[in-house]
Structure 1
């Protein structure tokens, strides 16, 4: 079965440790080419996330990570860069693995619309507006004041819609989420978030937010962060992860749910989901609980539908 994964932080690890090799089965990389190939992952989203260790992030840092993306990931002959619908369709007909470039947090953009247009030309196709805290554009989910968008942030949001860049709400504050839903007219995604009614972590989505994404023909990537699955500290099992899929489906989201692992962005793992090569374990669990057609949609088909509708034509 084909798989699409909506979020990983592999680029950040490659940036922080230049010695890591994406081409090899590197133990320190949850996501590398051998593991993607073994798992049957057909499309992987790679996030540009500037770690908190970078105290004053600038646009140059983003450009450095795009350079790493091309030098260390796209240099593998088995990888293919997806920037539009024809690219996606070409990957489906080939043996290659597709890579989509995304941005997590607008902090380094400094409100500059020219920077945004440059990123579009460089192939960035989805943007998460914040990380956990506030930036110049909006508040993130962990920001104590729980605010929404700034005027500059609203302007950036309009520009994203005009350009056709997909908005990712996974780290947005609740107030900013609802402001975004009102201002941005296109389908949007939560690339790596779970159901808040099952696990009340601030990073998870309320039933009302899940319903809004579904109503807008968006997509939700169920994530493998253990403490987004279960609030307890005991080892989290794959069966507990599946309850979040059940819940999204119960809200009418059977055609709007997939996966966004957050591999390489986590330091604790679900039992049996230690790295990208372990997707076979989740496939096995899914096949015991759902019909084959449903499993195919959760793993790939729902993301495929969304991307073919929302990538540049």
Structure 2
């Protein structure tokens, strides 16, 4: 059974530590090619996050991560970079694993919208607008003032809409979330967030927010961060994650649930979910509570439907062997 994982931070680790090898298993790397293959991951989204530990971060740090992505992941003989809907379908019809480049936080762009246009040309297909705190575009979810978008931030949203870059609201402040729903006409995602009803962490989404994602035909990637799954427990089982799935389904979101592990962005792990290779344990747990069709949708089909519909189309239809109107 195939899997889509909508968020990991392996690229950040690979960029910060050149000795790490994407092509072999290492203790320091949760996501690597052997583990993706072991788990049956068909498409992995790789986030670029400029760590807070980097002083005076700028666009050159983003360019460095894009270079690492191309060298260590994109050039791997069994990986294929996905930039268009047609690319996704080509990967689906092959034995290769797809890789999509994303950005987590706009901080390093410094308000320069030309950088967003350049990132699109370089293959970035989804952007998380903030990390936890405020930047030039909007407030993050941990920013005490809980503000919305700045004037530049609203201009940035128009640019993302025009380019077709997918908006990711994980880490976004509550005020900015609701402002987005009023001004942004396209579907958006929360790549790695859970339900507040089962774990009252600020990074999780309220029922109303989840309903808004459902209404806009977006997607919610449930994450494996233990303290986003169940608070106050040292050992969090996979069954606790299924509670979040049950809840989103009860809100009408069965077709809008996927996973966004946050592997390599965490220092604590759920029981039997230590790295990407452990996805089989999720599949096993899901199969005890859901039908085969539902399990396939949660692991792959829901993300697949969203991405094929919302990734850019190939600029030259003659280059594609697929009739997109039949998908």
TM-score when normalising by structure 1: 0.99
How far 1:74 moved relative to its partner? 1.5
More displaced, 49-58 or 254-263? Answer: 49-58
In the TM superposition, what whole-angstrom CA distance separates every residue of 1:86-135 from its partner, at most 9, and x where no partner exists?
10000001000000000000001111111000000000000000000000
SS of the aligned residue for 1:6 comes to strand
Which residue number in structure 2 is paired with residue 56 of structure 1?
Answer: 56
Q: SS of the counterpart of 1:255?
A: helix
TM-aligned CA deviation for residue 233 of structure 1: 2.8
Q: Which residue of 1 aligns with 2:112?
A: 112
Which structure 2 residues correspond to residues 9-158 of structure 1 after superposition, within 5 A? 9-158=9-158
Match of 2:319 in 1: none
Query: Cα deviation per residue 1:31-88 (whole Å; 9 max; x = unaligned)?
Result: 0000000000000000000011012210110000000001111121000000001100
Alignment of 1:191-202 (within 5 A): 191-202=191-202
Partner Cα distance (2:38, 2:234) in 1 = 29
Report how far residue 263 of structure 1 moved: 0.2
| Structure 1 residues without counterparts, runs of 5 or longer | none
Secondary structure in 2 aligned to 1:7? Answer: strand
| CA deviation after TM superposition for structure 1 residue 232, in Å | 1.0
- Partner of 1:37, secondary structure, is helix
1:190 paired residue number: 190
Match in the other structure for 2:318: none
Q: Which residue of 1 aligns with 2:274?
A: 274
User: How far 1:161 sits from its partner (Å)?
Assistant: 0.5
Aligned to 1:311: 311
Deviation >6 Å, runs of 4+: none
SS in 1 for 2:8: coil
> 1:158 touches 1:183 (CA, 8 Å); kept in 2?
no
Give 1:249 deviation, angstroms: 0.4
Task: Measure, in 2, the Cα distance between the counterparts of 1:241 and 1:197.
Answer: 12
Q: Secondary structure at the match of 1:221?
A: strand
- Specify the alignment match of 1:225 in structure 2: 225
In the aligned structure 2, how far is the partner of 1:53 from the partner of 1:146? 24
Measured in 1, the distance between the counterparts of 2:171 and 2:302 equals 21
2: distance between equivalents of 1:159 and 1:75? 30
